[in-house]
Chains A and B, each alone.
Chain A
Amino acid sequence: MDHEGRVSAAESRLRDLLVRGLAGDTAAYHACLRELSAHLRAFLRGRIARLPDEVEDLVQETLLAIHNQRHTYDAGQPLTAWVHAIARYKLIDLLRRRAARDALTDPLDDELAVFAASDTEAADARRDLARLLERLPARQRLPIVHMKLEGLSVVETARITGMSESAVKVGVHRGLKALAAMARKNDEDR
């Protein structure tokens, strides 16, 4: 398959997975994020070749952003454009923090490039999100630990923590947003 054919095949497969994921199919959503992470890794690795240590952190930050902002995806819109805009935003945000725009080695404006390559070799992230997670307040940390790490339901999490079901849901949502904000902040301090 040629280059363009590969990109459009990835586009339609990933869009299908995401649309099913947004409708509540967790397995499809998981598969979508996994495949996206490989594309993001290749895309970002090519663009910050001079900051190889930052790639995996940025992959994680972008995945967290994709998850937190997934309600802004419109199924009528090309997924390539949406993912590219988020990855580009997070990349520019990182470069601004680093004041290292000269690290850019490849043009950044070609949105099709985001699905053009795939890289499943994950290096170790330097920033440990698990450590940042521990710094969240209990009302956000506990729902994330029980629901997202141990895989319990909302009802079970509410029972264990003594929180209401809606507080559990809000805790997960706000906690993941706070985690994304802490990741940026942590990066600034480094």
Chain B
Amino acid sequence: MKTDDLIAMLATGAGATPPGAPRRRYATALVVGAFGAMVVMALMLGVRADLAEAARLPMFWVKLAFPATLLAGALLAALRLSRPGAKTGFAPAGIAAPIAVIWLLAGIALLGAAPGHREELLFGATWASCPFNVAVLSAPVFIALLWAMKGLAPTRLALAGAAAGLLSGATGAVVYTLHCPETAAPFLGAWYLLGMLIPTALGAFLGPRVLRW
């Protein structure tokens, strides 16, 4: 087939392409994935019984805001990385800022605590299960996001996969706050972050393998 014939073929009956396809794809993936994460949480872990009481404490909202703001930064990064030639812009700063803030809060909490109390702030009662639970809850969103990205056109595949992984990890972490009994900033800065980094690393590994087009 000659190139001119290919061009004629591609143009014939091409029709209109509605704008905003990437955003719609991401919205679908996030809604479906977050719903999946809620179901997994309800079946596997259950919502903490004293949620209404816990929600009165300011630290509960800090715990929710940390993954929620990371989610926003990762969403911006993933959307940009799904379009050829789009600049990542503020996305890296949007990801770094929540981590910097939680580490700052963690540092203040650790410095202000009595030496014997510090270990408790960092490890809480559930440090061993938290990263694993966050990673498991991220799985439905992770799969949905790879589907969304596969229908778009990422050109930096490892980075795009990592952004999708972080986005799914942050969504999993937001859902996990409904179960998790911990409230200390050092705990969040260590184990929540570690849990979100598991799907991030997996995404960076899988990106070049499954996102090619």
- A contact set with B: CB distance below 8 Å: 21-24, 26, 29-30, 33-34, 37, 56, 59-60, 63-65, 67-75, 77-78, 80-86, 88-89, 93, 111, 122, 124-125, 128-130, 133, 144, 147-149, 151-154, 172, 176, 180-181
Q: How far is the CB of A89 from chain B (nearest CB, A)?
A: 4
Contacting residues of chain B (1-43) with chain A, CB-CB under 8 angstroms: 1-19, 21-22
Q: How far is the CB of A134 from chain B (nearest CB, A)?
A: 11
- B83 is an interface residue with CB less than 8 A from chain A: yes
Q: How far is the CB of B108 from chain A (nearest CB, A)?
A: 41
**Top 3 closest A-B pairs, CB basis?**
A81-B85, A85-B84, A85-B85
User: Is B19 touching A22 in the complex (CB atoms < 8 A)?
Assistant: yes
Which residue on chain B has the smallest CB distance to residue A69? B153
Which residue on chain A has the smallest CB distance to residue B18? A71
User: Is B1 touching A63 in the complex (CB atoms < 8 A)?
Assistant: no
Q: How far is the CB of A130 from chain B (nearest CB, A)?
A: 4
CB-CB under 8 A for A147 and B13, given A34-B4, A93-B212: yes
Q: Is the interface of B mostly helix, strand, loop or mixed?
A: loop
| Bound CA span A133–B21, Å | 27
Q: Is the interface of A mostly helix, strand, loop or mixed?
A: helix
Q: How far is the CB of B190 from chain A (nearest CB, A)?
A: 37
Can you show 27 pairs from A to B with CB atoms below 8 A apart?
A: A26-B11, A30-B8, A33-B7, A37-B7, A60-B1, A60-B6, A63-B3, A63-B7, A64-B6, A69-B84, A71-B18, A71-B22, A72-B152, A72-B153, A82-B85, A83-B85, A86-B85, A122-B4, A125-B1, A125-B2, A125-B3, A128-B1, A130-B1, A144-B9, A149-B12, A154-B13, A176-B10
- B55 is an interface residue with CB less than 8 A from chain A: no
- B contact set with A: CB distance below 8 Å: 1-19, 21-22, 82-87, 152-153, 155, 212-213
User: Is A82 touching B84 in the complex (CB atoms < 8 A)?
Assistant: yes
User: Is B2 touching A122 in the complex (CB atoms < 8 A)?
Assistant: yes
Residues of A within 8 A of B86 (CB): 74, 77, 81-82
User: Is A77 touching B3 in the complex (CB atoms < 8 A)?
Assistant: no
User: Is B13 touching A72 in the complex (CB atoms < 8 A)?
Assistant: no
User: Is B153 touching A67 in the complex (CB atoms < 8 A)?
Assistant: no
User: Is B82 touching A72 in the complex (CB atoms < 8 A)?
Assistant: yes
Residues of A within 8 A of B14 (CB): 21, 26, 29, 67
Q: How far is the CB of A163 from chain B (nearest CB, A)?
A: 15
Residues of B within 8 A of A63 (CB): 3, 6-7, 10
Q: How far is the CB of B26 from chain A (nearest CB, A)?
A: 12
Q: A24-B16, A125-B3, A152-B13 are in contact. List 18 more A-B contacts (CB 8 A).
A: A22-B16, A29-B14, A33-B11, A37-B7, A64-B10, A67-B10, A69-B153, A70-B17, A71-B152, A73-B83, A77-B86, A81-B86, A89-B155, A122-B2, A147-B12, A148-B12, A172-B13, A181-B213
| Bound CA span A122–B4, Å | 9
Residues of A within 8 A of B5 (CB): 130
| Bound CA span A154–B42, Å | 46
Residues of A within 8 A of B83 (CB): 72-74, 77, 82
Residues of B within 8 A of A23 (CB): 16
Q: How far is the CB of B61 from chain A (nearest CB, A)?
A: 34
| Bound CA span A3–B82, Å | 31
User: Is B84 touching A72 in the complex (CB atoms < 8 A)?
Assistant: yes
| Bound CA span A72–B86, Å | 10
Which residue on chain A has the smallest CB distance to residue B4? A122
Residues of B within 8 A of A82 (CB): 83-86
Q: How far is the CB of B16 from chain A (nearest CB, A)?
A: 4
User: Is B7 touching A124 in the complex (CB atoms < 8 A)?
Assistant: no
